[in-house]
Amino acid sequence: MSLSADIGNPEASRVAAPACDLLVVGAGIVGLAHALAGVRRGWRVTVVERDWRCVGASIRNFGFVTVTGQREGATWQRAMRSRQVWAEVAPAAGIAIEQRGLWMLAHRPAAHAVLEAFAQTAMGEDCRLHDAAEVAALAPGLRADRLSGALHSPHELRVESRHAIPRLAAWLAERHGVNFIRGEAVLEVHPGGVRTALRTLQAGRVVLCPGTELTGVAAPWLAPQALKLTRLQMLRVQPEPGFRLPAPVMSDLGLVRYAGYAALPEAAALRRQLEEEAPESLAHGIHLIAVQGSDGSLVVGDSHHDDATPEPFASEAVDRLILDHLRESVELTQCRVVERWTGVYPTCHDQDCLIVAPEPELRVVVVTSGTGASTAFGIAEEVCDGW
């Protein structure tokens, strides 16, 4: 049925669509991960998305599937599993893996102490510590002259989010028969399905993946969780021709933000030093991540500001701080900003994911830590296994 037919015949548009086994509300990475988990179990899957294309948090990030440094326990395990799924799905769906691995740089001796402690944990398995001379030999392009050392992780993958998310959705539709209904907001959840402004959809199971839409149809179940939204600033930078970043890069400020490092006793001394030496960056929630695409450009960020309704205006001063941290870590002769944008994701204190089960066949799933690309596939498998 065409859109014009729906508009011209409201009664026809409200006729229930064929039943499905799993109805997913939201076509960001969390929703798409649930669609994949559903079809892998042989379920008929329908995805309903309010926008005509993905424009939210799932395409505004680094596309960086980060394992090392995630919170110990469920988050780290979900990241490990999600990394495996990305590695399976990307070549099948025609999604390029732009980079592999991670260089976590330590500029301060206190940061190096955190990395040494992390390497001794179970999460540090397969990661290797290197001194500055070894980094210079192994990773040209990094500013080894400023380092106390670095940790290399082999686990990470990086995709270009703005291309990977639509490609993943197209592959789910073309190869696995997932039915996508776009441009319709879900207004009501009822037993056995949902209602949009145009139709009623019946389903054996419903999963709401609202992302940042905390005041929409999922609000009754999210309101008690005291969620906030975090706004972040991102940049795309064009380096000099021929420059190659050996792998995604992070540095000292990330060691006091990522829970897998920050929970270590050694991180307390690093935080005290950063409070003296980089108070402005800490105040803006800045930590460096830099990744590179096949076109040579670098995606660089980011900052973190929490609010119930974040303002859309980016700060040039914050962008300058981010770029200062980039130049501290990467050997660039040219650093031309070609794009700037803000992202938003939901946050919840000391929780990386919320899975709410209001009814036996209804789930509400929100990633609350900015780790959607890193953990969504693992989360979706858990939710579907629970059914």
Tell me the two tokens of residue 342: 């803000």
Inter-residue contact 16 to 201 (CB < 8 Å): yes
The pLDDT value given to residue 173? 98
3-class SS shares of the chain: helix, strand, coil, % to 5: 40, 30, 35
The pairs formed by 354-357 with CB atoms below 8 angstroms and a separation of 24 or more are 354/222, 354/225, 354/227, 355/379, 355/382, 355/383, 356/221, 356/222, 356/225, 357/386
Please report, for the domain that includes residue 16, its CATH number.
3.50.50.60
DSSP labels, 337-366:
EEEEEEEEEEEBTTBSEEEEEEETTEEEEE
d(CA 202, CA 40): 21
Same domain, yes or no: 145 and 247: yes
Domain count, the chain: 2
What is the predicted pLDDT for the residue at 308? 87
Q: In terms of domains, do 184 and 150 share one?
A: no
Q: 80 lies in a domain?
A: no
Cα-trace Rg, the chain: 22
How far apart CA 5 and CA 247 sit, in angstroms, is 50
Output the pLDDT for position 10. 37
What CATH number is attached to the domain comprising 312?
A: 3.30.9.10
In a domain, 76, yes or no: no
Domain that holds residue 22: 3-58+163-222+352-386
Do 218 and 237 fall within a single domain?
no
Other C-beta atoms within 10 Å of 154: how many?
13
Amino acid present at 10: P
Q: How far apart are CA 202 and CA 195, in angstroms?
A: 9
- Output the CA–CA distances (angstroms, integers) from residue 28 to 117, 205, 381, in the order listed: 35, 18, 16
- The pLDDT assigned to 272 comes to 98
**By C-alpha distance, which of 303, 299, 304 is closest to 330?**
299
| Residue 369 lies inside a defined structural domain of this protein | yes
Clarify whether residues 238 and 320 are in a common domain: yes
CA distance 32 to 380: 9
Q: Number of helices and strands (H, E) in the chain?
A: 13, 18
Instruction: Kindly state whether residues 342 and 252 are assigned to the same domain.
Output: yes
E-assigned strands of the chain?
Answer: 17-25, 45-49, 64-65, 99-106, 128-130, 149-158, 179-182, 186-190, 193-196, 200-208, 228-239, 249-250, 289-292, 298-301, 305-307, 335-347, 353-359, 362-367
Q: Let me know if residue 64 belongs to a domain.
A: no
Q: Residue 283 has which token pair?
A: 């105040």
Tell whether 170 and 123 lie within a shared domain. no
Same domain, residue pair 253 and 267: yes
- The CA–CA distances, whole Å, from 251 to 57, 165, 327, 328 equal 23, 27, 12, 9
Examine residue 244 and state whether it is found in any structural domain, yes or no.
yes
253 and 377 within one domain: no
Identify the CA nearest to 351 among candidates 361, 373, 366: 366
CA distance 204 to 379: 20
Residue 74 is assigned to a structural domain of this protein: no
**Distance (Å, whole) CA 253 – CA 274:** 8
Domain assignment present for residue 339? The answer is: yes
User: Does 302 lie in the same domain as 191?
Assistant: no
Which regions of the chain are under pLDDT 50? 1-17
Claim to verify: residue 175 and residue 294 sit in the same structural domain: no
Q: Distances from the Cα of 117 to the Cαs of 13, 98, 105, 321, in angstroms?
A: 60, 30, 14, 28
In a domain, 85, yes or no: no
255 shares its domain with 188: no
Regarding whether 170 and 145 lie in a shared domain, the answer is no
